[in-house]
Structure 1
């Protein structure tokens, strides 16, 4: 079969990269087989191909009517080739490091490189009551030393923000009317930073608060959980997000964005409070955190809006600040008393220091400016980040009440010609409903645990049990293949699992208690030995990650334990390929002794099919061997039955058929012995009768 492909990929969610694409059949038993050679489009965000390809012939097995009704399709995948590794990794399972945010386990102002954002504004408490100077003998010769600390016994009534700087006083003029020292000598001390000159008018800003999630909230309800929601206060503005309550969850994911139009210095303090909703009574306060936004904005660390790792004018990683990188760089040069930046090609020079951009794309000026900001040598600049803030109850300020993962962007309005960029969308990723169909066809090389009657062979009454991670209570099992003598078992049994999957997190949502737990999408299959009077024994296990399923072997002889072969089997993302088939190894469970098994409890022949729930509803399949799409009953050996349920059949198959000659010989010997014994017993009487003539 041949087909023509003429396509173009646009609006890619990545940076300039080396693209590749390949195609393969997608059918039961042929997943990702016979893929075409990779065609590479290097260094572009809009790759375009025009090719005619011929796929290799494949053999389809199964019901002809089913094949006609569901013909095989062709899977076309877009890949990003890593030039360092020389291999192509699936784009869906890979996030470029340039798009990852910096994660801080504590508050942003508590990070050592930023010094509490008090490099410009110093915060001094105004107290009512007695105070004692604890730093009378402090060494204040160095201008970088901290201010004296004050221990106050009274109540803090307000906070005073001051700008402090140390300068040398001008020397008095000499008697001749001239100052001492060389005239016109340039000062190497940078002028102190000043807030934007707005006169008597306040500074208008746009504040965006991004709240991702809360972690380890304390329970507030009698059932050991809580119903959290958010309340924000900025100056006189208050936002109560009671319409977005996360029910019964101690680790809620909010994914909320709040926007305020504020004015500094009036609206400088932001308070984020987590409340517990109650159906009856007053809502309880779980905890709150407070952020001084004014200090962040006026700091030389550029704490208003974090710097990304790469400049993008549009897309998911678009620029978020109200000022372009070149404008921020120019302001920093003025703050540090440096000459204006000079741009040359993909580089920029500030003073005697030069930085060059690693991305050669337009606009080159902004890429170069961002590269200089990321490597700014005079002070650490705040990157795009997520900070973790501790929550405290107003009545118990010293006891942590959980943590809040969030970040804040403060954009100055009217300073730049650039329009205010749109806010980042933080809607929690919705869960997609999927259906996994696992057809357990057969097994080979199964471990035998019980000795057969009148034989040295070992057998097992084998069945397969399957479940998804976190869904052990919904485990499904095949029927039992009794008396598995040769290590071969047959089932032809279908297991059907419904679950919810969150694609960005690659997690399965499972209801646990009153909330939702997240588990990896992993399928577990267990080889079990059935016992009538005791607990079933575990022979071996097989665990498959649905997002990275190892390629199944075509034949049982090619299936080996992981690490036994030097060949590394490629993996396939079942959420993309939708189907996979082959042989997979089941590893021995602890306590099962089989020295020659090389760690294998058996080999399973499976057919995996993963599809959205909507597609599964249109094409349903029954569990077990039931319809629709009923599976045929396997042709098991005649010995495959339970000895306890059918003892006569067991005697026939395991005793008579195996030891027929020995049994016949034994019967003849027994009859001969009986005849001899009867002859010996009756011979004396006959002799006596003959002698006496009776």
Structure 2
């Protein structure tokens, strides 16, 4: 005979008693006898299939007939595409109409009855707002802390009479399961990257370029190798990043499951936007690396890459609707040039700091297993080594190359002139040294 439904939320403990967080009490008797029909919410649409299928064992026509009978209301009287209750005429929305045998659109009696139920408060005298289908949000309270809310609970409560037909199967409200994907990002080349350092011997502007990439966070960062001594901002890499991730299509979010601490019992699930982050850096051997620019690609909405480095500009990053966007989850594979940039602190404007030629290839986990590829340039499906200039090397690890490509390349004519001058000086010194003796010897011989 108890009419209160109590729902309690606990804090589970591995050792000891579980702790009560809070509870909520629902008066079922009040709902059962309510004139607003709070036993099962009235849906906005009458669907027989799908996630929003009609779950009340009483169909709309039966509910409407019972309400009219209990309230002694004239009706319902069904006519093509409309129904009359008392002196009111109701029509079903166009979306609730089906094709009949003649190919014309007409509403069924269930759709017409549901249209009346959603506007039952318009019926004179007996009409009232029927409880719509919704998810309740109820506060939780702890008896030991009266009046202090301990959180909220989302739920719905349906009550079905035992003398009526059994309701349909329970609605599956388990969380959506993410789908596994693998993103393969190939960094082919860079161009016009800003030159940050001065060459040690020559003072030329140069940068030791490499690219970072990640999707989910700091633990996911991958880096290319370093293109040393780039004098023009051009970098050659042929380097593949591989990022596996779980993705919720409906929410357009990447799902990350991990334990917060070493002693956590269960994994904590978090959701982050589906974004690929790329950065270009200048490697330094005796100090911290220098950040040169970044690029963030929203895999659901991002501009198509330019066909060449010359066509790659900051205009590609405009968000005013003038640049058409694409989705990697639909396109699956795309290649092009995208700009690296930094944001000026004073003006909040973007400054172009380089360009990257990249190829993005999105595969499901099943496709990735059928067509495997190795990270960087390794097997399977290896990438060719980049065709870098001979001057790309670490100067202090290659002294012979340093002499050839740095000193000789830049000071070749100066060195030749110095050698010629030294040879001439040596000849003159030898001439003046041997001239007196040769002269005396010549005199005595004569």
Give TM-score scaled by structure 2 length.
0.80
Equivalent in the alignment of 2:337: 583
> CA 1:387–1:584 in 2, change beyond 3 Å: closer, same or farther?
farther
> CA 1:456–1:281 in 2, change beyond 3 Å: closer, same or farther?
closer
The question of 1:441 aligning with 2:188 is answered yes
How far does residue 656 in structure 1 lie from its aligned partner after superposition?
2.6
Aligned to 2:167, which of 408, 416, 420?
420
In structure 1, C-alpha distance between the alignment counterparts of 2:75 and 2:408, rounded to whole Å: 101
How far does residue 486 in structure 1 lie from its aligned partner after superposition?
1.7
Aligned to 1:307, which of 26, 42, 59?
42
How far does residue 591 in structure 1 lie from its aligned partner after superposition?
7.1
The question of 1:466 aligning with 2:201 is answered no
How far does residue 647 in structure 1 lie from its aligned partner after superposition?
4.7
How far does residue 677 in structure 1 lie from its aligned partner after superposition?
11
The question of 1:645 aligning with 2:402 is answered no
1:510 and 1:519 in contact (8 A); partners too: no
2:303 and 2:323 in contact (8 A); partners too: no
2:202 and 2:410 in contact (8 A); partners too: no
How far does residue 491 in structure 1 lie from its aligned partner after superposition?
0.9
In structure 1, C-alpha distance between the alignment counterparts of 2:259 and 2:65, rounded to whole Å: 54
1:541 and 1:589 in contact (8 A); partners too: no
In structure 2, C-alpha distance between the alignment counterparts of 1:614 and 1:592, rounded to whole Å: 48
How far does residue 527 in structure 1 lie from its aligned partner after superposition?
1.1
For residues 330-356 of structure 1, the C-alpha deviation after alignment (integer angstroms, 9 at most, x for no partner) is 444566664323333223333444332
How far does residue 325 in structure 1 lie from its aligned partner after superposition?
2.1
> CA 1:405–1:453 in 2, change beyond 3 Å: closer, same or farther?
same
How far does residue 602 in structure 1 lie from its aligned partner after superposition?
2.1
Equivalent in the alignment of 1:388: 137
> CA 1:353–1:647 in 2, change beyond 3 Å: closer, same or farther?
farther
In structure 1, C-alpha distance between the alignment counterparts of 2:20 and 2:112, rounded to whole Å: 47
> CA 1:655–1:339 in 2, change beyond 3 Å: closer, same or farther?
farther
Q: Secondary structure at the match of 2:391?
A: coil
In structure 2, C-alpha distance between the alignment counterparts of 1:547 and 1:486, rounded to whole Å: 33
In structure 1, C-alpha distance between the alignment counterparts of 2:279 and 2:151, rounded to whole Å: 39
In structure 2, C-alpha distance between the alignment counterparts of 1:589 and 1:538, rounded to whole Å: 12
1:461 and 1:482 in contact (8 A); partners too: yes
For residues 561-612 of structure 1, the C-alpha deviation after alignment (integer angstroms, 9 at most, x for no partner) is 31299752331242x544332222222256799x9xx632222222223333
Q: Secondary structure at the match of 2:310?
A: helix
For residues 196-227 of structure 1, the C-alpha deviation after alignment (integer angstroms, 9 at most, x for no partner) is xxxxxxxxxxxxxxxxxxxxxxxxxxxxxxxx
Equivalent in the alignment of 1:296: 31
1:453 and 1:654 in contact (8 A); partners too: no
Q: Secondary structure at the match of 1:366?
A: helix
In structure 1, C-alpha distance between the alignment counterparts of 2:119 and 2:423, rounded to whole Å: 103
How far does residue 465 in structure 1 lie from its aligned partner after superposition?
1.1
Q: Secondary structure at the match of 2:369?
A: helix
Q: Secondary structure at the match of 2:395?
A: coil
Normalized per residue, which structure has more helix? 2
> CA 1:580–1:300 in 2, change beyond 3 Å: closer, same or farther?
farther
In structure 1, C-alpha distance between the alignment counterparts of 2:394 and 2:272, rounded to whole Å: 38
> How many residue pairs get matched?
414
1:389 and 1:404 in contact (8 A); partners too: yes
Is there any run of 5+ residues in structure 1 with no aligned partner, and where?
Answer: 1-265
1:462 and 1:529 in contact (8 A); partners too: yes
Higher alpha-carbon deviation: 268-277 or 482-491 = 268-277
Aligned to 2:318, which of 563, 568, 573?
563
Q: Secondary structure at the match of 1:326?
A: helix
Q: Secondary structure at the match of 1:605?
A: strand
Higher alpha-carbon deviation: 318-327 or 459-468 = 318-327
Equivalent in the alignment of 1:283: 18
Q: How does 1:89-238 map to 2 (within 5 A)?
A: none
1:468 and 1:523 in contact (8 A); partners too: yes
Q: How does 1:294-693 map to 2 (within 5 A)?
A: 294-333=29-68, 338-358=73-93, 359=95, 360-361=97-98, 364-378=108-122, 379-415=128-164, 420-452=167-199, 458-469=205-216, 471-505=217-251, 506-513=253-260, 514=264, 515-561=268-314, 562-563=317-318, 567-574=322-329, 576-588=330-342, 599-665=351-417, 668=420
1:467 and 1:524 in contact (8 A); partners too: yes
In structure 1, C-alpha distance between the alignment counterparts of 2:304 and 2:163, rounded to whole Å: 58
In structure 2, C-alpha distance between the alignment counterparts of 1:292 and 1:286, rounded to whole Å: 21
Equivalent in the alignment of 1:5: none
> CA 1:675–1:274 in 2, change beyond 3 Å: closer, same or farther?
same
Q: Secondary structure at the match of 2:135?
A: strand
For residues 628-666 of structure 1, the C-alpha deviation after alignment (integer angstroms, 9 at most, x for no partner) is 222111111112222333355235323432443344345
Q: How does 1:63-102 map to 2 (within 5 A)?
A: none
2:61 and 2:114 in contact (8 A); partners too: yes
Give TM-score scaled by structure 1 length.
0.53
> CA 1:490–1:342 in 2, change beyond 3 Å: closer, same or farther?
same
How far does residue 317 in structure 1 lie from its aligned partner after superposition?
1.9
How far does residue 502 in structure 1 lie from its aligned partner after superposition?
3.5
> CA 1:633–1:317 in 2, change beyond 3 Å: closer, same or farther?
same
For residues 42-65 of structure 1, the C-alpha deviation after alignment (integer angstroms, 9 at most, x for no partner) is xxxxxxxxxxxxxxxxxxxxxxxx
In structure 2, C-alpha distance between the alignment counterparts of 1:605 and 1:636, rounded to whole Å: 16
In structure 2, C-alpha distance between the alignment counterparts of 1:678 and 1:592, rounded to whole Å: 65
Is there any run of 5+ residues in structure 2 with no aligned partner, and where?
Answer: 99-105, 123-127
How far does residue 477 in structure 1 lie from its aligned partner after superposition?
0.8
